Structure 1
Amino acid sequence: MQTPTPFPGRPDPHARTAFDRIELGLILGLYGRMVAAGEWRDYGMSFLKDVAVFSVFRRTAEHPIYRIEKRPKLRGRQGQYAVIAMDGQILKRGGDLKAVLRVLDRKLIRPVE
C-alpha cells in the first residue's frame, strides 16, 4: 500500500525512477556473463528523480566503463533505455531493454584464433 501524498494532485517529491524486477533480471544476467568472462568486476546503482542508472566498472575505484540508463520521460521519443560509454557516447538507445543491451552482449563474442 502506498502512503498518500500530503497534497493530492502534486507529484511526490520523494518519487524516484527505478528499474523493475524484470529489467534488473536482464541487466544482472548480462552482468553475470561479463563477470564470468573477466570483463567486468563491480557495479553501482543510482535512483534519482528522472533517471535510474546501472554503472559498470572494470575495477572498483575507477570511472564506470558503461552506464545503463532508464529515463521514462524519453519513452515516447527515442526510447527510455540507453547504454552510454565512458566517454559519454550513446552506444544504443531504444524502448526495448533487451535489444539495447545487445550492444554490450556483442562484446563477449570474440573471434577464435
Structure 2
Amino acid sequence: MSTVTPFPAQSGVVSFHRTELSPILSLYGRMVAAGEWRDYGISHLKDVAVFAVFRRTAEHPLYRIEKRPKLRSRQGQYAVIGAEGQVLKRGHDLRAVLRVLERKLIRAVE
C-alpha cells in the first residue's frame, strides 16, 4: 500500500533551518519593537533562500538575509544585502553576519 503526501517534498530547494530562523526572527522582533521594520517575506529558491525585510509592505526590501550553500566553502553561505544591492556582510556564521544589522538597532534605540 502506498501513501500519497498532499505536499510532496521539494528537492533541490534551499531553505532556512529552524536554528537559522531563530536568530533572524529574534532580530526581526526587536527591530519591529523599535519601529524600524514592519514586514518580511521569505523565499526558498533553487540556489538561495532569502529573508527580506521591509519598512512598508509595498516597497523594495530594506535588507535581504541570504543563504547560498554553494558559497559555503568560499566567502560563506550567509550574507546581508542592502537596499541598493550592496553586500553589507558575508560569512560562515549567521549570528556574526547579523551583527551588522544589530548595530543599526542600537542606533535606533539611542
Q: Where on the TM-score scale, by shorter chain, does this alignment land: which range?
A: 0.7 to 0.9
- C-alpha distance in 2 between matches for 1:109 and 1:24: 21
Once the two structures are TM-superposed, the CA of residue 100 in structure 1 deviates from its matched residue by 0.0
Q: Give the RMSD, CA atoms, in angstroms.
A: 1.6
Rounded to whole Å, the distance in 2 between the matches of 1:69 and 1:81 is 6
CA drift at 1:94: 0.1
Q: TM-score, normalised by structure 1?
A: 0.85
Among all aligned residue pairs of Structure 1 and Structure 2, give the percentage whose two residues are the same amino acid.
75
Residues 70-109 of structure 1 aligned to structure 2 (within 5 Å): 70-109=67-106
Read off the aligned partner of 1:21 and give its amino acid letter: R
Deviation of 1:14 after TM superposition, in Å, equals 3.9
Normalised to the residue count of structure 2, the TM-score between the two structures is: 0.88
SS state at 1:38 partner: coil
**Which residue does the alignment assign to 1:7?**
none
Match of 2:47 in 1: 50
Moved over 3 A (4+): none
> Aligned AA for 1:23?
E
Considering fraction of residues, name the structure with more helix: 2
- 2:13 pairs with one of 8, 13, 16: 16
Unaligned regions of 5+ residues in structure 2, if any? Answer: 1-9
2:22 matched residue in structure 1: 25
Q: Which amino acid letter does the alignment assign opposite residue 100 of structure 1?
A: V
What is the number of residues matched between the two proteins? 101
User: Which of the numbers 57, 61, 66 marks the counterpart of 1:64?
Assistant: 61
Following superposition, the deviation at residue 37 of structure 1 comes to 0.2
- Alpha-carbon distance between aligned partners in 1 of 2:19 and 2:32, rounded to the nearest angstrom: 20
Secondary structure of the corresponding residue to residue 64 of structure 1 = coil
